[in-house]
Amino acid sequence: MKDIVIVGAGIVGCSIARELSRYNLNVTVIDKNQDVSEGISKANSGIIHGGYNEKKGTLKAKLNLEGNKIIDSLSEELEFPFKRNGSLVLAFNEEEFKKLKTLKSNGESLGIEELELLEKGEVLDLEENINCDVVGALHVKNSGIVSPYEMTLAFAENACENGVEFLLNHVVTDIKNNGDSYTLIIKDKDPIEAKIVINAAGLGGAFLNNLVSETKYEIEGVKGEYCLLDKIAGGLCKKTLFQVPSELSKGVLVTPTVDGNLLIGPNAAPSEVGDIKTTRKGIDEIIDKSKITMEKIPFDRVLNTFSGIRPKVKTKDFIIEEAKDAKNFINVIGIDSPGLTCAPAIANYVINIIKDKIKLDKKSNFKAHRTKMIRMSELNIEEKNKLIAENPAYGKMICKCEFVTEGEIIDSIRRPLGARTLDGVKRRTRATMGGCQGIGCMIPISAIISKELGIDISQVNKDRENSSVVGFKED
Ligand SMILES: Cc1cc2nc3c(=O)[nH]c(=O)nc-3n(C[C@H](O)[C@H](O)[C@H](O)COP(=O)(O)OP(=O)(O)OC[C@H]3O[C@@H](n4cnc5c(N)ncnc54)[C@H](O)[C@@H]3O)c2cc1C
């Protein structure tokens, strides 16, 4: 019997797992995908929001503020990249400028001090490539950028190092309430029993709740599509550039990423929960809207498009509570934006809910620090030469666009919770993320994974089952 099972290895489930790994508890994280961060947490804007536009009294407002404040120390402790680059919410007419004043006073009423209204000239002094018909902006100095999947991996790896078990490729199909425990039914695998279940299943959160509770939830998917541009385009701005937000979303942004690319998006289109295909219509919409911010965006430098689905619930706020008619079943659902920003604060909130349900006895050997992967491209020449002398695999370039070596790819597989798929290697090392998008290195990387895991190259998946880029071996 497990003490606690968390369903969902996104940023929410992994933040909770990392927090729980401080205690002497038997904790398991279950996810249907082959890697952590394969759900909403891999496809979003990666912004640590300032929180100025959240509604007073909501969990979103409270947890955004708390999450934003603890992110610096967490990024140091867990070594994931975070830049507090600040953002500008841009007004292109007087009507929009009035809305900025409302947003500023809303933010101030929430306790956010780092807000300032800027005139046209001040905006263009900060960001010279913004269209010169800008009227003014709200400068949100406390906002920042992260890589959402690197952040998720950092929490997951640290939780794993501190004893949390991760069961990937495990689909929860049913849950039985036994009164004092729950039995989770797993597709094609043995059932798992737990005293406490934490439902952090993102888009699958309503389904799991509805299996055990008479309070039924519905999740509406709202798709957001993006264009990712290369690092040459990434130099066009330093801050995250928002337009004035709407009811459905924070609007189309133009932002540098922590890795130096340029990201444009998202739109907000109703969508089936599992449908992450990008559409010509959606991409045209974000291209057109981004041109309001910046005419000069070089769309011939687009590397890729992708989309993520927001899990919207009717209340429009996060639902983080024990189900009223299912004792010890904790729902963490409806976690749409700003869920990435809030995740570490959500974890603390959840610990507070369960502290009276189970003994939280601190581990004496909890390891708070996680060491990030070696990135050869970040080292100086002496450091590179030393590493290559110790291990020649660090001298063998595999991804020539992002300068990723064989040594780094092997490291990404051998780490705690190591990569098992091509996309797993991609998210840990950046291999395949450059100009050729993997045309030159997907097969050599598949060969390395095959050798490391002792499986045939045709069994190495890109992301999900049967997604090998090499094809299947004939019997
Ligand atoms: C377009 C877009 C832009 C966004 N931008 C931002 C932003 O800039 N800043 C910000 O703070 N937030 C942003 N967000 C919100 C943020 O991305 C989410 O709040 C966050 O990623 C949700 O994390 P999660 O762990 O709840 O969900 P997920 O990452 O989806 O994790 C849930 C996991 O549960 C697993 N699962 C589901 N059902 C089952 C089952 N039956 N059995 C086993 N496993 C299951 C899934 O496989 C998945 O891995 C954005 C969201 C979107 C869609």
**Structure-derived torsion over alpha carbons of residues 216, 5, 81, 233, reported in degrees to the nearest 10:** -40
Q: pLDDT-based confidence at 42, cuts 50/70/90?
A: very high
Q: How far apart are CA 240 and CA 333, in angstroms?
A: 27
- Cβ of 309 less than 6 Å from ligand 1: yes
Tell me what the mean pLDDT of segment 82-104 comes to: 97
User: Which residues partner with 304 through β-bridges?
Assistant: 228
User: Which residues partner with 271 through β-bridges?
Assistant: 221
Which residue in this structure is represented by tokens 């999740």?
Answer: 219
Helix/strand/coil for 435: coil
User: Which residues partner with 176 through β-bridges?
Assistant: 183
Helix/strand/coil for 23: strand
The Cα-based distances of 138 to 53, 62, 101, 203 in angstroms read 11, 21, 8, 32
Is the bond into 392 cis (omega within 30 degrees of 0)? no
Q: What is the pLDDT of residue 113?
A: 93
What percent of the chain has pLDDT above 70?
99
pLDDT digits (tens, 9 = 90+) for 19-39: 999 999 999 999 999 999 999
DSSP state of 56: T
Q: pLDDT-based confidence at 245, cuts 50/70/90?
A: confident
Examine the pLDDT at 270 and tell me if it is beyond 60. yes
Query: Which token pair is 421?
Result: 């798929």
- Cβ of 434 less than 6 Å from ligand 1: no
Whether the Cβ atoms of residue 262 and residue 213 lie closer than 8 Å to each other = no
User: Which residues partner with 7 through β-bridges?
Assistant: 30, 199
Tell me what the mean pLDDT of segment 342-348 comes to: 98
Tell me what the mean pLDDT of segment 83-101 comes to: 97
What percent of the chain has pLDDT above 90?
94
Q: How far apart are CA 375 and CA 29, in angstroms?
A: 28
Q: Kindly provide the b/e burial profile for residues 80-109, where b requires at least 16 CB atoms within 10 angstroms of the residue's own CB.
A: bebeebbbbbbbbeeebbebbeebbebbee
Q: How far apart are CA 262 and CA 235, in angstroms?
A: 8
Q: Is 257 left (phi over 0), alpha (psi -120 to 50) or beta?
A: beta
Query: Which region among 273-282, 350-359, 369-378 has the lowest average model confidence (pLDDT)?
Result: 273-282
pLDDT digits (tens, 9 = 90+) for 66-90: 999 999 999 999 999 999 999 999 9
Examine the pLDDT at 475 and tell me if it is beyond 70. no
Cα end-to-end distance, the chain, whole Å: 41
User: Which residue from 341, 414, 432, 431 is spatially nearest to 145, judged by alpha carbons?
Assistant: 341
Q: How far apart are CA 292 and CA 96, in angstroms?
A: 13
Mutation test of ligand 1: which of 7, 12, 337 has the most ligand atoms closer than 8 Å to its C-beta? 337
- Cβ of 50 less than 6 Å from ligand 1: no
Examine the pLDDT at 130 and tell me if it is beyond 90. yes
Q: pLDDT-based confidence at 274, cuts 50/70/90?
A: confident
Mutation test of ligand 1: which of 33, 37, 45 has the most ligand atoms closer than 8 Å to its C-beta? 45
Distance (Å) from CA 135 to ligand 1 centroid: 35
Q: What is the pLDDT of residue 59?
A: 98
Q: How far apart are CA 177 and CA 328, in angstroms?
A: 10
Whether the Cβ atoms of residue 345 and residue 70 lie closer than 8 Å to each other = yes
Distance (Å) from CA 40 to ligand 1 centroid: 3
- Cβ of 209 less than 6 Å from ligand 1: no
Which residue in this structure is represented by tokens 């790994």?
Answer: 21
Distance (Å) from CA 199 to ligand 1 centroid: 12
Q: What is the pLDDT of residue 246?
A: 75
Tell me what the mean pLDDT of segment 161-188 comes to: 98
Q: pLDDT-based confidence at 250, cuts 50/70/90?
A: confident
Q: pLDDT-based confidence at 248, cuts 50/70/90?
A: low
Which residue in this structure is represented by tokens 């990024």?
Answer: 75
Q: pLDDT-based confidence at 472, cuts 50/70/90?
A: low
Which residue in this structure is represented by tokens 């999450």?
Answer: 67
Show Cβ contacts of residue 325 under 8 Å, excluding neighbours closer than 6 positions: 213, 214, 215
Distance (Å) from CA 340 to ligand 1 centroid: 8
| CB neighbourhood size of 277 (10 A) | 13
Examine the pLDDT at 134 and tell me if it is beyond 70. yes
Is the whole-model pTM more than 0.85? yes
The per-residue pLDDT of the chain, averaged, comes to 96
User: Which residues partner with 182 through β-bridges?
Assistant: 177, 194
Strands (E), 367-475: 397-399, 404-405
Tell me what the mean pLDDT of segment 351-373 comes to: 97
Q: What is the pLDDT of residue 271?
A: 83
Q: What is the pLDDT of residue 471?
A: 72
Examine the pLDDT at 474 and tell me if it is beyond 70. no
Helix intervals (H) in 305-405 = 339-354, 381-390
Q: What is the pLDDT of residue 194?
A: 98
The Cα-based distances of 149 to 222, 292, 399 in angstroms read 20, 29, 20
- Cβ of 186 less than 6 Å from ligand 1: no
User: Which residue from 399, 414, 401, 394 is spatially nearest to 445, judged by alpha carbons?
Assistant: 399
Which ligand 1 atom sits nearest the alpha carbon of residue 225? 1
Q: What is the pLDDT of residue 272?
A: 77
Looking at this protein, which amino acid is placed at residue 336? D
Q: pLDDT-based confidence at 195, cuts 50/70/90?
A: very high
Q: What is the pLDDT of residue 48?
A: 98
Q: How, if at all, do strands 253-256 and 302-312 pair?
A: unpaired
Active site residues: 49
pLDDT digits (tens, 9 = 90+) for 43-72: 999 999 999 999 999 999 999 999 999 999
- Cβ of 460 less than 6 Å from ligand 1: no
Whether the Cβ atoms of residue 173 and residue 186 lie closer than 8 Å to each other = yes
